[in-house]
Chain A
Amino acid sequence: MSTVVYLDNAATTPVDPRVIEIMLECCGPDGDFANPSAVGHEPGRRARSRVEQARAEVARLVGATPEQIVWTSGATEADNLALFGAARFHRSRGRHIVTSRTEHPAVLDPCRQLEREGFEVTYLKPGADGIVAPGQVAAVLRDDTILVSIMHVNNEIGVVQDIGAVGRACRARGVLLHVDAAQSAGKLPIDIERDCVDLLALTAHKVHGPKGVGALCVRREPRLGLVPLLYGGGQERGLRSGTVPTHQVAGMGRAFAIAAEQMAAEATRIGALRERLWAALAALPGLRLNGHPVHRVPGILSVTVDGVEGESLLQSLPDLAVASGSACASTNAEPSYVLRALGHSDRLAQSTLRLSLGRFTTCEHIDYAARRVRQEVERLRAIAPPGVGAGQR
């Protein structure tokens, strides 16, 4: 076993060797490295063929057609393109946008910018289980609502939103639905037609593909207008100018194809590992599961450990790569706004660990991690002053 057990797959995943293989085929002088827009010569046409194959693979995973896929640099850019693109194109129809307080910053920050541009944004508060009830969304739709943005799976606590019900409510009112599927693509079935999703943000690196590439899936029938963020060569039907990185998108296509093949089996395997981890940790007094106990993605377990300071716990576990309850990244010591939106105090939000599993997580990893977390929680509680947290002296 590696010296560090990696349980931060919700942050990013290692690239699958099968993905690396196809990426390398698109890089070297003997490979398909050419500009895929340069279809006037054979190398360019070969690169284009790689790009279009990847486009089809990505589309297939989400029930879309290849023409609906627009390559981006990742989910953040896809979210930005969806929000700014749709809001600016449709502003003559209305200026009201709906989202939730627990969205990723790639959605919340553009919403704040849109507010500065004159839009009005309603931020829905999820329940204590992290779920935004579809009825909450339907209740705030107005005649001037043009866009709803709800993530499929929350990156911190792993809860799954009922995007189908939200989508139907939006479609009935003629409101566009954008879904950030960074944490769900390749892990849960997605069908944009069935779920009435108009814009779907995707990324490769959460599903064992490369970093730096993603896609926005855009509804085509009826055509959905978007104002681009980038202008230049007019690639991606003018929606995203810039040379398409063949090796990156080929890697994303392969990653999505592998995920599609393995999704059912991996969901079962990883879900069982998560339950094994939870069962092993749940014996600790003062431990609570964050988020809905059932409506959750298989690979994410978020637990709050009362009576232990989160940063100290993280520092005590140098042999585990896990995330704390700080907002989005350990570079930010602020308590997680997601956990606070669920009603956690700052202290409890900071006493939270997110353990996220992936394709290369084994039973041995889980047993080791559970043992180490228990050890360090007990050690830190043993040195805490009287009266701190649950199960204390």
Chain B
Amino acid sequence: MRTLAGAGDLPAGPGIVCGVAGDVEQGARVRFELQVEDGKVAEARFRAFGCPHFVAAASWLTDRLRGAGRSEVENWDWREAAEALEVPPAKSGRLLTLQDAVRDAARNWPGAGQSTV
């Protein structure tokens, strides 16, 4: 929690897609911004409200997604973060929210017929 890489927003510009999921009242909400260049994620940022595991996993994902294409983003699975960060089973449900946000970003991919930020 002391150093959270990738926190914040990307500078406004073309090719930025956004993915959002979660509900503050349920204890977890996250927003990802992905800068897409040549069909791959060039840079990523997050904003998150949630438990330390959730926030740390969101931070970890901004690095993990760099270089990923749409298909990889669309199929990213929460278990990867659970394993990489040794997230306890009790917190696994929160990671599903991350997966939802990442897939929401894939739906908004440039050229996918959805809006871009």
Known: A316-B1, A350-B27. A385 touches B52 (CB 8 A): no
Contacts of B48 in A (CB 8 A): 383-385
Q: Which secondary structure characterizes the binding site on chain B?
A: mixed
Known: A333-B90, A347-B25, A388-B49. A383 touches B7 (CB 8 A): yes
- Interface residue? B70 (CB, 8 A): no
Let me know if B7 and A309 touch, CB within 8 A. Answer: no
Contacts of B1 in A (CB 8 A): 312, 315-316
Contacts of A389 in B (CB 8 A): 24, 49
Q: Of A383, A388, A389, which is in contact with the most chain B CB atoms at under 10 Å from its CB?
A: A383
Q: Of B1, B7, B49, B51, which is in contact with the most chain A CB atoms at under 10 Å from its CB?
A: B49
Contacts of B25 in A (CB 8 A): 345-347
Contacts of A312 in B (CB 8 A): 1, 50-52, 55
Complex CA gap A315/B1 in Å reads 7
- Interface residue? B4 (CB, 8 A): yes
- Interface residue? B34 (CB, 8 A): no
Let me know if A383 and B55 touch, CB within 8 A. Answer: yes
Let me know if B27 and A316 touch, CB within 8 A. Answer: no
- Interface residue? A386 (CB, 8 A): yes
What is the 8 Å Cβ interface bit string for chain A, positions 301-319, against chain B (1 contact, 0 not)? 0000001110110011010
Contacts of A316 in B (CB 8 A): 1-2
Q: How far is the CB of A107 from chain B (nearest CB, A)?
A: 28
Contacts of B93 in A (CB 8 A): none
Residue of B nearest to A388 (CB): B49
Contact with B47, one of A318, A345, A385 (Cβ below 8 angstroms): A385
Residue of B nearest to A311 (CB): B51
Contact with B49, one of A318, A346, A385 (Cβ below 8 angstroms): A385
Binding site for B on A (CB under 8 A): 307-309, 311-312, 315-316, 318, 333, 345-347, 350, 382-389
Binding site for A on B (CB under 8 A): 1-2, 4, 7-8, 20, 24-25, 27, 29-31, 46-52, 55, 90
A-B contact pairs, 16 of them (CB 8 A): A309-B50, A309-B51, A312-B50, A315-B1, A315-B52, A347-B24, A350-B27, A382-B7, A382-B8, A383-B46, A385-B20, A385-B29, A385-B30, A385-B31, A388-B49, A389-B24
